[in-house]
Amino acid sequence: MLDTTVLRHAADRAARHYEDLDHLPVAARASYPELLGRLDRPLPDRGVDPVRVIDELIDDTLDGFVGAGGPRFFGWVIGGSTPGAIAADWLMSAWDQNAAIYQCSPAAAVAEEVAGAWLKDVLGLPSDASFGLVTGCQMAHFTALAAARHSLYRDRGVDVERDGLFGAPRVRVITGDHRHESLIRAIRYLGFGAGSVQQVRLDDDGRMNMVALEEALAADPGAPTIVCLMAGDLNTGAADPFHAACDLAHARGAWVHVDGAFGLWMNASPARRSMLDGVERADSWATDGHKWLQLPYDNGFAFVRNAAMHHAALAMTAGYFIPPDGSGRDQVNWNPEWSRRARGVVAYAALRCLGREGVARLVDEACRLTERLVEGLGRLPGCEVMAPARMNQGLVRFVAPDGAHDAFTDRVTDAIREEGTAWFGASTWRGLRVMRISVCNHRTTDADVDRTLDAVERVLARVS
């Protein structure tokens, strides 16, 4: 008799933990030796009862987790998960559908097709753009830039899928100083090499300088070129001037790609859409589902304006494929993986749970609470706002009586984390140490901002 006790048991324990996240300390408390001491058992010869394994797993790990899914985690833009999205994710594991090709799971393929269309709608992207549902924004960069690679080389008579990069002219990638390292790694995967990246300077407001972009483009007008723009700088939330950048880049035949890991979601909010004016003119876009959409991990989205370039870069076939019955979509042709989770079902369910208004509210609330948090911190004695709230980002630092602000900022940031009410990350911005504020969780409320400000005030009084 098949025993499914552990499934119900785990669902119950997971739901209880999800509820407890409001009260648990945000920082992990267990040290590396403690965690290793608990987990590094000898691999058993004989299997252990699953209920016991799950219970012990919870006991062994829980204080070694960071409460990033809870309401007072303001570190990197990580995002929580909504109950509906988690439930769909669980179902997908239990249903064990392989979303590689249509015939492996027709329902998963159709749900993904619908989710892709909904995502373009919510994100304000062209309705005929193609899409790939991938693991995260890193792989969304890879997917979108594989299409760029195909397109740029095709224009030059190179069949890069057949011949690779041997003998091909070097692609150059123009980015701003604010690009995310995941973009560089995608560029490495594609064989361009990190050395192909040319950085252009930013203006004081953190947006790419258009004179510098024009100079860079003019310096080597014939080179196959990708211009990577930011919709949401990870320090300041700045978005590049998309209209001007697209005018310049397209006039030179360059491909324009947008890193909108979190910032592209501004388009989901009627009140904030204007921050991304012109972003829809790009050739490809990468964003995350596990950040602002509040999906569990393993959810990133790539979109490409010219679907044929996307398909040509990734499509493949094998003798054992069964063609879709007429019109179904084989996911393998649009993403770099083969066997994969039916992640489209999770996006589908989450978008239905939220609706257009729910997504807009998520975005607007996080932005509003970021403003409250950054302004509130700025009013505390010794706290200086370095970058005011923009989107869901802001930067502050702590001013030391002895002038050693960098070390003091790190010390205060560490002490806030140790105190346990809230969690902030540290960063270096314009050569100065800062504390980063990112709000990206549907559970964060005004009360969480108040509790956090009280905690920071207490810590400051103790540390200074």
Q: Which stretches of the chain bind ligand PLP, using CB under 6 A?
A: 77, 136-138, 180, 182, 232, 234, 259, 261-262, 288, 300
The per-residue DSSP string of 89-154 comes to HHHHHHHT---SSGGG-HHHHHHHHHHHHHHHHHHT--TT-EEEEESSHHHHHHHHHHHHHHHHHH
Task: Provide, rounded to whole angstroms, the least separation between the CB of residue 334 and ligand PLP.
Answer: 18
Task: Provide, rounded to whole angstroms, the least separation between the CB of residue 189 and ligand PLP.
Answer: 12
Q: Which is nearer to ligand PLP, 285 or 408 (CB)?
A: 285
Q: Which is nearer to ligand PLP, 69 or 300 (CB)?
A: 300
CB atoms within 10 A of CB 263: 30
Q: Which is nearer to ligand PLP, 259 or 419 (CB)?
A: 259
Say whether 322 sits in a helix, a strand or coil.
coil
Spell 209-226 as b/e; 16+ CB within 10 A means b: bbebbbebbeeeeebbbb
Task: Provide, rounded to whole angstroms, the least separation between the CB of residue 198 and ligand PLP.
Answer: 19
User: How far is 43 from 387, CA to CA, in rounded Å?
Assistant: 50
Task: Provide, rounded to whole angstroms, the least separation between the CB of residue 231 and ligand PLP.
Answer: 8
Q: Which is nearer to ligand PLP, 77 or 350 (CB)?
A: 77
Task: Provide, rounded to whole angstroms, the least separation between the CB of residue 154 and ligand PLP.
Answer: 27
Q: Name residue 42's amino acid.
A: P
User: How far is 112 from 425, CA to CA, in rounded Å?
Assistant: 35
Q: Which is nearer to ligand PLP, 202 or 261 (CB)?
A: 261
Residue whose beta carbon is closest to ligand PLP: 136
Task: Provide, rounded to whole angstroms, the least separation between the CB of residue 314 and ligand PLP.
Answer: 18
Residue labelled with tokens 């439930």 = 87
User: How far is 277 from 460, CA to CA, in rounded Å?
Assistant: 40
The per-residue DSSP string of 375-431 comes to HHHHHSTTEEEEEEEETTEEEEEE--TTS-HHHHHHHHHHHHHHH-S-B-EEEEETT
Task: Provide, rounded to whole angstroms, the least separation between the CB of residue 15 and ligand PLP.
Answer: 26
Q: Which is nearer to ligand PLP, 350 or 412 (CB)?
A: 350
Q: Which is nearer to ligand PLP, 102 or 424 (CB)?
A: 424
